[in-house]
Amino acid sequence: MARSRNPFDPTSIGSATSVAVIGLGRFGTALALELMAHGTEVLGIDDDADAVQGLNGQLTGVVAGDATRPELIEQLGLADFDRVVVAIGSDVTASILVTSQLLRVGVPQVWAKAVDERHALILDQLGVSHVVRPEADMGRRVAHMVRGALEDFIEIEPGYAAVRLEVPAGLSAVPLRELGLQAKHGVGIGAVKRDGAWVLANPETRFEAGDTVLVHGLTPKVEAFAVLMAKRRASA
């Protein structure tokens, strides 16, 4: 069964040395350029010659062609790539066809963008490594930020999240081990940002007012803790 990442993080596939991106729309282009920025070799493929030409020289290689054709997949040797991302957005049929052909030729890891829940279910049933839904993921992320007192929200897995938030004055000068955050609130503190630099938190870490912390835990617990911290900041 495929494993979904929320939200989709392009650096999470950056450990691969070679990635092919099929579909060079906004999502595919942003992904390809981000991977290049992290030192990954990227082959971009799209049936739109203008989209391909626009990325010429910015990616390791670009190809204008119809990836639904099995012969193109074989000619490009996509089975030899570490990972292939199917970033086709609007044409669900093409996305499914390309994905199934990539799996047939034995691509080690296939990542595929889904436009809706039904599309995601089909991709999952095909056996792709990861199904991603950028628009839905971003919508959930922003919704959590709007509802709560979060500076940022990342759902690592469904039901488990990490957030950034500012420390209220009431938590300053007390060692982390004495706060009992896990026992009281069901959350943990992974890191602290002070004077522009992140450092890993440890039991002896003492917060200062204005610090930013990385809080992780079950999503409802993290959100409840963020709301509590916002109230404490407001009353300080």
Question: How far, in Å, CA of 164 to CA of 216, rounded?
Answer: 9
- Supply the CATH classification number for the domain 148-235: 3.30.70.1450
Residue with tokens 């919704």: 143
Domain positions in the chain: 10-132, 148-235
pTM of structure:
0.67
Q: What is the pLDDT of residues 111-148, one digit of tens each?
A: 999 998 899 999 999 999 889 887 777 767 666 666 65
Q: Which amino acid is at 17?
A: T
Integer Cα distance of 93 and 101 in angstroms: 12
Q: What is the pLDDT along the chain (236 residues), one digit of tens a residue?
A: 344 433 334 444 444 688 999 999 999 999 999 999 988 999 999 999 999 999 999 999 999 999 999 999 999 999 999 999 999 978 999 999 999 999 999 999 999 999 988 999 999 999 998 898 877 777 676 666 666 566 777 878 778 989 888 887 767 778 899 988 999 999 999 999 988 899 999 999 998 877 899 999 998 898 888 888 877 777 76
CATH topology assigned to domain 10-132: Rossmann fold (3.40.50)
